[in-house]
A and B are shown apart, each in its own frame.
Chain A
Amino acid sequence: MLLDVGLFLHQSIRRNVWIAPAVAAAFLAAATGAASSFSGGTSSPLAAQQTPPAAAPAQPATTQTGSTAQDPATQARAGLNIVVLDPAHGGTDLGARGTGGIHESDIVLDFAAQVRTALESQGFQVVQTRQGNANPSFDDRSAMANAQRGAIFVTLHIASTGTAGTARVYVMSDMPTGTDATGLILWDRAQAPFASLSRKLGDQVQGLLAQRFKGSPANAQTASVRQLRTTAAPAIAVEISSVIVEDRAQLDHMAPGVADAIARGAAAFRPTYVVPANPGERP
């Protein structure tokens, strides 16, 4: 029991690191306000205290280490800060196979490495569903995202069709929401409450992909992607065309552009996502 309490406190402190500088800033502001009122100033300490905590990290508050709270890592803690990155397939499931011995499962792993670097440079913490040649189940992959608070989910695919050099973003087709008697989101319909958020994220990323890769659609498309259905977070599938290229280098050249589009799209989406208080809750 004590261990649980300790763990809870530890997690709370980890998740709410921004509280310390926020409280310090509010305290300082209150003190300054009080001093100002004594000196005839107009600023109100109460107003400073009522500043929403989420806004506090955006203020240039001094931290214990002397650095400012504006660095991306600190900002990220206030809301969306985790991206669960899913290189699809793996293990015996090779995914799409090209004539030149190109396997989807290999390429997406290489893409994932570049996407990860780009996301980390935007201040995101990245959780990968697989590092090597493993093949977690669809549910296991979704579970990694569903266990996080404030995460988005991006699954990477290489198609066997489509114009080479294009990229498409898919979001789950609309589905009715459902909850059980306790109000929990049903696993089979976990994506339903996040559909509109997924659409926003998908359109952000697709827009950036369309700028880089001519012939790509302007907006995200809908499809009944199995991996997305059980994911309780804003979730998109990014599919690159295609394994039917003569030289794998053609695909490899796309990786930096795809990584940049996903990272910038996620960063642009960040302010619009109000993170649920607990994992598994409705947005």
Chain B
Amino acid sequence: MMPRWRWWFLGALVLAVVIAAIYLPILRRNIRQAAKLQQRSEEQARRELTQPTVINPSDPRVKAKLFWASGADDGTVSAVTVELPLAKDPVLRAKQVLNTLLAGPVDTELRTLPPDAALLAFYLLPDGTAIADFSEAVATSIPSGIESEQMAVDSIAKTLEANVPQVRRLKILIHGQEVETLAGHLDLTQTFLVNANAMLGPQAATAPAATALTPAPAAVKLAEPARKP
């Protein structure tokens, strides 16, 4: 015959297990929701800090060239001329054209960048190096592949080249970080040459247009592969 206190003890244990079985999934769900909310609020805060540059109607209206997919299904981008009021300040101007590029063309099939992507920040260094920081959606929502990723970079670089002559090189960051590739293929560790002809002088003016997007080497010299930890 078991003493009564053991029955009470066993009963309490069973009750604790039942409560835990009910409570733990709820707790896990709450933690996930909190994490999501925190992630969203960080992204939201960042977006609020870097509000898309509002086009000022008082700026002079110019014919901007924006590069989207050509529609020939051959991996090329082609220019579409859009009349926009653009600022004279190169950083502001670059933000304006890139935000218009991200908004996409009338024909959504010709998009080169995902619709949920956003430009988080844009910097222009004195040597002409532009740093464009995009939200993670640029990397996660873009169709994976060499062709699609190259088109995305081409559209950004050529749009800057056509509208912001001060930009010489382009470095693309994703959510403030340097990443190895855009979506598994295209190299983002290097900078891309923009306005290469202007930078290299008249000799390069006859160079084919393809060289305009040549990746420029990073300053870092590595004789051996850098191992990831």
Q: What is the interface of chain A, defined by CB distance below 8 A to chain B?
A: 88-89, 93, 95-97, 104, 137-140, 142-143, 157-163, 168, 170, 173-176, 178, 180, 184, 186-189, 217, 221-227, 229-230, 237, 239, 241-242
Q: B150 at interface (Cβ–Cβ under 8 A)?
A: yes
Asked if B215 contacts A173 (CB within 8 A), the reply is yes
* Residues A224 and B75 in contact in the complex (CB < 8 Å), given A138-B180, A180-B223, A188-B222: no
Shortest CB–CB separation between residue B102 and chain A, in angstroms?
19
A-B contact pairs, 10 of them (CB 8 A): A97-B144, A137-B228, A142-B225, A159-B148, A170-B146, A187-B222, A187-B225, A223-B185, A225-B185, A242-B145
Complex contact A188–B74 (CB within 8 A): no
Q: Which of B211-228 contact A (CB under 8 A)?
A: 211, 213-218, 220-228
7 further interface pairs, Cβ-Cβ under 8 Å (given A97-B144, A160-B144): A139-B226, A159-B144, A159-B147, A173-B210, A175-B217, A187-B223, A229-B215
Is B147 a contact of A104 with CB atoms below 8 Å? no
Task: Find chain B residues with CB under 8 A from A221 CB.
Answer: 75
Q: Which residues of A contact B145 (CB under 8 A)?
A: 96, 157-162, 239, 242
CB distance from A149 to the nearest CB of B (A): 19
- In this complex, the interface size class of chain B, counting residues with CB under 8 Å from chain A, is 35 or more
Residues of B within 8 A of A143 (CB): 225
Query: Which of B148, B213, B217 gathers most chain A CB within 10 Å?
Result: B217
Contact A186:B146 (CB < 8 A) given known A222-B210, A224-B186: no
Nearest B residue to A159, CB-CB: B145
Taking the closest CB of chain B, its distance from the CB of A268, in whole angstroms, is: 23
Q: Establish whether residues B215 and A224, one from each chain, have CB atoms under 8 Å apart when the complex forms.
A: yes
Cα–Cα distance between A7 and B148 once the two chains are bound (Å): 47
In angstroms, Cα B144 to Cα A89, docked, is 11
Distance A151 CA – B222 CA, assembled complex (angstroms): 22
* Interface: B135 (CB within 8 A): no
Q: Is the CB of A161 within 8 A of B148?
A: yes
Q: State the B residues within 8 Å of A (CB).
A: 73-75, 143-148, 150, 153, 180-181, 184-187, 189-190, 192, 210-211, 213-218, 220-228
Question: How far, in Å, is B205 (CB) from chain A's closest CB?
Answer: 16
Interface centre among B146, B185, B211, B220 (most CB of A within 10 A): B146
Contact indicator B186/A188 (Cβ below 8 Å): no
| B151 closest partner in A (C-beta) | A161
In the complex, residue of chain A having the shortest beta-carbon distance to the beta carbon of B218? A188
**Does B217 lie within 8 Å of A230, measured CB to CB?**
no
Q: Cβ of A239 and Cβ of B146 under 8 Å apart?
A: yes
Complex contacts, A138 vs chain B, CB 8 Å: 180
Which residues of the other chain, A, contact B213 by a CB distance below 8 angstroms?
173, 224
Residue picked from B148, B181, B225, most chain A C-beta under 10 Å: B225
User: Separation in Å of the A173 CB from the closest CB of chain B?
Assistant: 5
Q: Nearest chain A CB to B188's CB is how many angstroms away?
A: 8
Once the chains bind, are A226 and B217 in contact (CB under 8 Å)? Answer: no
Are the CB atoms of A186 and B187 closer together than 8 Å? no
Distance of B74 from chain A, by nearest CB (Å):
7
Known contacts A137-B228, A175-B215; is A223 also within 8 Å of B186 by CB?
A: yes
Asked if residues B186 and A225 are in contact (CB atoms below 8 Å), the reply is yes
CB nearest neighbor in A for B150 = A223
Chain B residues lying within 8 Å of A186, measured Cβ to Cβ, are 217, 221-223
Structural contact, B228 and A161, CB atoms closer than 8 A: no
Q: How far is the CA of A128 from the CA of B227 in the complex (A)?
A: 21
User: In the docked arrangement, what's the CA distance between A189 and B214, Å?
Assistant: 13
B144 lies within 8 A of A95 (CB): yes
Cα distance A212–B187 in the bound complex, in angstroms: 30
Flag if B217 contacts A176 (CB, 8 Å).
Answer: yes
Task: Determine the residue in chain B with the shortest Cβ distance to A157.
Answer: B146
- B217 partner residues in chain A, CB cutoff 8 A: 175-176, 178, 186, 188-189
Q: Is the CB of A239 within 8 A of B147?
A: yes
Residue numbers in A under 8 Å from B150 (CB-CB):
223-224
